[in-house]
Structure 1
Amino acid sequence: MFKLFPSKHKKIKYGWFGNYTSWEDAAAVACGYDSANILAKTRDALLQVKNGTAVYERDSVIFADKEYPFPLISCLLCSAALLKRPLHILDFGGSLGSTYYQVKDFIDQDSCASWNIVEQEHYVNCGKENFEDDHLKFYFSIEDCLQEKKIDLILLSSSAQYLSAPHQFLEKLAGYPIDFIVFDRTAFHHGEQDRITLQTVPPEIYEASYPSWFFNTDGFLSHFNANYRIICELPPYVNGESVMFIDHQPTGFNKGFYLINQSLHA
């Protein structure tokens, strides 16, 4: 998710636009996230982080200083403390390990037993070839991962809004036997219904556009009312994401949630 600000002098060409009636309508005019150039740029940036020649990557861009997501880190450490053992974490839509490398200074083997990324096929193949080790693993689906190990916590960081059918996915997610769910950097808006927009990425990051949801908060959380308790909201840690502009209007915002399965308190 990218930091974009309105201008009083000219219309910005990049950001979130439109109110599409369907995901398919937005996808028809998009140049998607599965482009090979995006994967290559992300791989090269994260290899620098892995090899220690860069400190921080976000959205395929290298930064000189690392931004630590302390609200997310707190949720991970709290979950490990509640279970009194290291966590098996599933990072859904976790790219090639962006969040993993961002938090690993704080999440050691005493709090994290394994970090498992579920991604698109070409990302998984790249991850297995360039990044996988005894601690960091890559899978094609949640079910593939669950067949190998019991997952304690599922993390979705800036990924739910890029699913074509998010509510079907969220309903399924709520039914997994998972103790903790963390949503981070998720896009919401003040409307009564979800909104489908087209997100256009600044070319200095990479050339792409793709559909992106802005969720109604109550509708988003309704899937978890039966099985989970909301412990807290996670504020955005990236500058410029507390207010998000759709069609140049400040109608969107970014936040997350920390959910605990009610069975832990039965």
Structure 2
Amino acid sequence: MFKLFSPKRKDIQYGWFGNYASWHEAAASAGGYDSGNILQKTKDALLQVKNGTAVYERDSVVFEHIEYPFPLISCLLRSAALLKRPLNILDFGGSLGSTYYQVKDFVGTDCCASWNIVEQEHYVNCGKANFEDDHLKFYHSIDHCLLDTKIDLILLSGSVQYMPAPHDLLKKVAAYNFGFIVFDRTAFHDGLYDRLTLQTVPPEIYEASYPSWFFNKEGFLNHFKSNYNIICELPPFVEGESVISIDHQPLGYNKGFYLLNQSFNA
């Protein structure tokens, strides 16, 4: 998940900082997303949601009121309507089901036939042990998922910017030729090149820092121009997430895209 906490005061040392030359250089200063404390907090929060003692979780924090991601929900509903059947969804980097639990009651089984999460090994193990059922599944890779399920739509929500080689992933996603691609909560900036920063999470959330990319939009979307049409851009669903400060300056922004395969006859 994309941790959107952008400080405004210059004495606060969390948020996004730096302009690193390589992933290795940034990672040397980071305490990454694979930390056990993050998994445990996320597990505890989502078990509350699953068991009905909380209604909504985001970035391991539980809330009393759910915030529906209506831009994303619109993409899911439109895709199911175009196919005239429920979708098999692959959620790349979907944690233990944060987005699944956020949207499942709203979209229902008429829209979503299955929700398949691809994550790091320890998340997959935890997911299989605590959350997996007939509808929600966990996999170590896209290829492992495709062995079980023919995927209609791939969702990448706040995950691409945390990959060591994000453009390799984007090329791979384009090559799978899925019918629909949704990028949500993805970080961009107006520079000519991608920028690599170090993100530090507020300690009240959890203790962690990790490398985080801000993409040049044109370079990001170039991977899909030969076989996809951009149907629309997705605004952030939470107020205040549009602008992201880097080194305390409003240089980044958060948005998404809904892509339709050109071979799809709608």
TM-score by length of 1: 0.98
Do the aligned residues in 2 keep the contact of 1:124 with 1:139 (CA within 8 Å)? Answer: yes
The alignment's C-alpha RMSD in Å is 0.9
2:5 to 3, 6, 24: 3
Match of 1:57 in 2: 57
Structure 2 residues not aligned, in runs of 5+: none
Q: Distance in 1 between matches of 2:37 and 2:160?
A: 22
Structure 1 residues not aligned, in runs of 5+: none
Q: Which stretch shifts more, 45-54 or 98-107?
A: 98-107
Do the aligned residues in 2 keep the contact of 1:3 with 1:239 (CA within 8 Å)? Answer: no
Q: Distance in 1 between matches of 2:110 and 2:253?
A: 34
Do the aligned residues in 2 keep the contact of 1:5 with 1:240 (CA within 8 Å)? Answer: no
Do the aligned residues in 2 keep the contact of 1:128 with 1:137 (CA within 8 Å)? Answer: yes
The reply to whether residue 246 of structure 1 matches residue 241 of structure 2 is: no
**CA offsets, 1:20-55, max 9 Å, x none?**
000110001100000111100000000000000001
What's the secondary structure of 1:253's corresponding residue? strand
Shift of 1:241: 1.2
Match of 1:175 in 2: 175
Do the aligned residues in 1 keep the contact of 2:124 with 2:138 (CA within 8 Å)? Answer: yes
**CA offsets, 1:101-150, max 9 Å, x none?**
00012221111110000000000000000000000000000000001110
What's the secondary structure of 1:54's corresponding residue? coil
Q: Distance in 1 between matches of 2:121 and 2:223?
A: 27
Match of 1:184 in 2: 184
Number of residue pairs matched by the alignment: 264
Do the aligned residues in 1 keep the contact of 2:188 with 2:217 (CA within 8 Å)? Answer: yes
Q: Distance in 2 between matches of 1:20 and 1:196?
A: 5
Match of 1:124 in 2: 124
Match of 2:149 in 1: 149
What's the secondary structure of 1:105's corresponding residue? helix
Match of 2:237 in 1: 237
Match of 2:96 in 1: 96
Q: Distance in 1 between matches of 2:225 and 2:101?
A: 32
Match of 1:210 in 2: 210
Q: Distance in 2 between matches of 1:211 and 1:4?
A: 15
Match of 2:20 in 1: 20
Match of 2:114 in 1: 114
TM-score by length of 2: 0.98
**CA offsets, 1:191-228, max 9 Å, x none?**
11000000000000000000000000000000000010
Q: Distance in 1 between matches of 2:170 and 2:108?
A: 29
Q: Distance in 1 between matches of 2:239 and 2:57?
A: 15
Q: Give % identity.
A: 75
Shift of 1:265: 3.2
Q: Distance in 2 between matches of 1:34 and 1:107?
A: 30
Equivalent position amino acid for 1:246 in 2: I
Equivalent position amino acid for 2:103 in 1: V
Shift of 1:5: 3.6
Q: Distance in 1 between matches of 2:61 and 2:121?
A: 22
Shift of 1:63: 1.1
Equivalent position amino acid for 2:6 in 1: L
What's the secondary structure of 1:62's corresponding residue? strand
Do the aligned residues in 1 keep the contact of 2:71 with 2:235 (CA within 8 Å)? Answer: yes
Q: Distance in 2 between matches of 1:177 and 1:226?
A: 11
Equivalent position amino acid for 2:89 in 1: I
Do the aligned residues in 2 keep the contact of 1:4 with 1:240 (CA within 8 Å)? Answer: no
Do the aligned residues in 1 keep the contact of 2:5 with 2:201 (CA within 8 Å)? Answer: no
Q: Distance in 1 between matches of 2:245 and 2:216?
A: 16
Hey, which bits of structure 1, 4+ residues long, moved more than 6 A? none
1:29-44 paired onto structure 2 within 5 Å: 29-44=29-44
Q: Distance in 1 between matches of 2:5 and 2:101?
A: 21
What's the secondary structure of 1:154's corresponding residue? strand
